[in-house]
Structure 1
Amino acid sequence: MSKWKTFIIEFMNIYSKTFVKTVDIEHHLKTLLKQEYDDDGGYFRFSSALKNMVEEEKIQPVKARGHNHQTPPVFNEYRLVKQEKRTNPTHIKKLMTSYPFFNMTAFYDEEEFEKWKFYINRVHAFLTNNSDTKKVMLKANERSFELFRNEKFLLDKEGIKFLANLGLTLSDLNCRRTYEPFVEYRPKPSRKPKTILIIENRDTFDSVKELMMDGVNTWSGITFDMVIYGEGDKIQRSYYFLEEYQLEDYEVYYFGDLDARGIHICSELIKIDNRVKPFTPFYIELLNCYGTEPSTRTLERKLKQTIIDDSLKLFSGFFECNYRDELKKYTKIVQNIQTYIPQEGLNLAILRETGERR
């Protein structure tokens, strides 16, 4: 198979959708080959390669998407043809003998095994040798570099799938993930926090932090001994850093913008840890103060409506019935226009007035 065809197959294999746009394939080749793309025939060779791959039944055109308007014409989208796995009883027997502790089903195809042979052998050698580093719990990126000279492999999609195919986890390689630390404030750092408040945006975090430093740490009867700056979506990745605190009995409250994305972030945290709940007194205060005059903005990045609806269902379940219909207003996006109330509506003065010292 020619180099061009190999590059096309590799790109289509990692493409995020089943139907691959022809313009994306061509752009990938141009990026990869640079001047060589034009020197080797450019678009004419590219179109010929696509037509040959169709004849060889490696790809299929998506005819409903139509042709492009170039000469010679090709279809606007293609999809890979699934190749039947070749199974050789002798090869399978050899796998079972050589790697008795692994699930090798995913590698019964000899071509697939050859693709992953280096990685399989590196893991096998690690697990069967009694090395000193094997006994030390390393970070996943450290172990990944030690085994494969690629520090990112174990935590990228291919690496995660590779381990799963073998029936292994990171713990089998005596390594663990690390999570990006978050910005937090605790009035008493020596004590493990029991009640935690996560704030989506920086200004509101700073206001709550300032009040806690001044002794104001209680709202609606709930006293907080830790406040975390969520940094918007980032909190979904860094939340696991809480494990570093080795907490046992604790509660987590979340307060963010009253809009589709803020509600979604909160609902995703609830899915990660069922201790998390929205801090309803702050949201209700936002509605009471600004519900009759919410702001609107134009969105460039928005969630799918099905995701928004699912998030609202989980989020609104923490509120009394008379607020649930009101919350829907902040998840409707019409022609990219979003109705919202930013959490900054609860400014330092309001937070001080509604807070108390405990």
Structure 2
Amino acid sequence: MPPEAARRLVRALKKTGRRRIPLDILRREFASACPELAEQPDRRTRLAEALLNAADTGEILLPKQRRSWDRAGGAALPGFVMLAGQRQTRPPVIIAGYAWHPLLSFAAGERNRLRLESVKRINEWLKSDPDLSLIVPIKERSLEIFGDEKRLDQLRGGTTNLFGQVSLSSLGCRICPIPLPFEAGSAAARGQPILIIENNDTWASFSAWNRSVGRYAAVAYAGGGHGKSLAYDEMFIDELISRFQAEGLFYFGDLDPAGLRIASRAAERRALRGSLALQPAAALYAWLLDRGTRTSLQRTEKATAADLAWLPEHLRDPVEALFAEGHRIPQESLGTRALAVGDIHF
């Protein structure tokens, strides 16, 4: 097959104004562009060769799937071809000799275009000599740099660094965790532990009680195990600890497998970060075991050994026995009335 015939066919295909050209039009344009071949007895083979030549030069794209080929009657013909689009050469993101801020010098070796565009935006912002002495929330800084308040959050990918090398603090910004609802105790309670409560109504009862007794520096609400719960908001706990100079951190929830799981896993995450330990409010859990209202536990709910191990040793066996009997104890058992009596032995 002479290459010139394939070039004639491609020119004819381009004049159709189509990008995707089905087999019936391929045959018609072949007959028009290459009549000396289309009139031969082996015209099917000649068309197949012309298309293969055009594909070899990159002028057309042939289908990859077997079912898109017509294999009846000799040489295989594609059910369609695609005209190759004109490749546009994109200008480089970074021109030769571009000056990088020392903080971003690693970007000289970056090849990913999207990452490079983002680093360049940060670099141009740093060149404006911004005031980095005031640490601002990350979304405020992101809006300032990108005109998009979410971009820095996307770039950090759940870490406190950008591109694995640039700390947020070096850009004068910080992550602001979603706050846990909390109520502060009296001024005299500053320095006392913080108590985190699993459920809303119990939180309301403990907050009102703590206003007068001042046992806790603050009483915070963990979110009841919903999507916006302790695992989502727990970074704010460290802000509370700092704000109230708390020396202890306790958790009180339902005595059921789900309640233990929320607390024990949050405690594990805090331990991995080296944060102040999240401890069980042992006296409150002991009160539940002694006086709380037992309700039915679904058979599918199971407590793991790791979750039970979060409890102090003297409570593990009684709690495990409670679950084995098919019972649970809602923390609402210890509410406003019980707190008013004041018979909890801390």
Normalized against structure 2, the TM-score is what? 0.58
Q: In the alignment, residue 229 of structure 1 is paired with which amino acid?
A: Y
Show the counterpart of 2:115: 116
Q: Larger RCO: Structure 1 or Structure 2 (Cα < 8 Å, ≥ 6 residues apart)? A: 1
- Contact 2:284 / 2:344 at 8 angstroms: preserved in 1? no
Pick one of 257, 260, 272 that aligns with 2:257.
260
Indicate whether 1:237 and 2:232 are aligned: yes
- Contact 2:160 / 2:168 at 8 angstroms: preserved in 1? no
Deviations 1:96-150 (A, max 9, x none): 9857544748x9573x2x1212101012223343124x44321100111111222
Give the SS at the match of 1:246: helix
**Matches of 1:162 and 1:189 in 2, distance apart?**
34
Pick one of 317, 341, 346 that aligns with 1:325.
317
Distance 1:263 1:168, change over 3 A: same
Name the larger-Rg structure.
Answer: 2
Pick one of 290, 297, 301 that aligns with 1:288.
290
Indicate whether 1:352 and 2:340 are aligned: yes
* TM-aligned CA deviation for residue 239 of structure 1: 3.6
* TM-aligned CA deviation for residue 170 of structure 1: 0.9
How many pairs were matched up? 247
Distance 1:354 1:188, change over 3 A: closer
**Matches of 1:210 and 1:268 in 2, distance apart?**
28
Q: In the alignment, residue 326 of structure 1 is paired with which amino acid?
A: P
Give the SS at the match of 1:275: coil
Show the counterpart of 2:245: 248
Structure 2: gaps of 5 or more residues: 1-62, 67-92
Distance 1:331 1:116, change over 3 A: farther
Deviations 1:187-237 (A, max 9, x none): 424863422211111111122223234x345xxxxx334222222342333
**Matches of 2:64 and 2:204 in 1, distance apart?**
57
Q: In the alignment, residue 146 of structure 1 is paired with which amino acid?
A: E
Give the SS at the match of 1:118: helix
Show the counterpart of 2:216: 224
- Contact 1:139 / 1:175 at 8 angstroms: preserved in 2? yes
Distance 1:331 1:345, change over 3 A: same
- Contact 1:195 / 1:250 at 8 angstroms: preserved in 2? yes
Indicate whether 1:310 and 2:306 are aligned: yes
Q: In the alignment, residue 265 of structure 2 is paired with which amino acid?
A: E
Identity of aligned residues (%): 23
Distance 1:274 1:50, change over 3 A: farther
Query: Cα RMSD (Å) of the superposition?
Result: 4.1
Normalized against structure 1, the TM-score is what? 0.56
Structure 1: gaps of 5 or more residues: 1-48, 53-90, 218-222, 333-337
Distance 1:131 1:97, change over 3 A: closer
Distance 1:196 1:148, change over 3 A: same
Show the counterpart of 1:199: 197
- Contact 1:193 / 1:226 at 8 angstroms: preserved in 2? no
Show the counterpart of 1:6: none
Q: In the alignment, residue 237 of structure 1 is paired with which amino acid?
A: Y
- Contact 2:202 / 2:332 at 8 angstroms: preserved in 1? yes
Give the SS at the match of 2:166: coil
Give the SS at the match of 1:181: coil
Show the counterpart of 2:331: 343
Q: In the alignment, residue 249 of structure 2 is paired with which amino acid?
A: V
- Contact 1:197 / 1:228 at 8 angstroms: preserved in 2? yes
Deviations 1:20-74 (A, max 9, x none): xxxxxxxxxxxxxxxxxxxxxxxxxxxxx9969xxxxxxxxxxxxxxxxxxxxxx
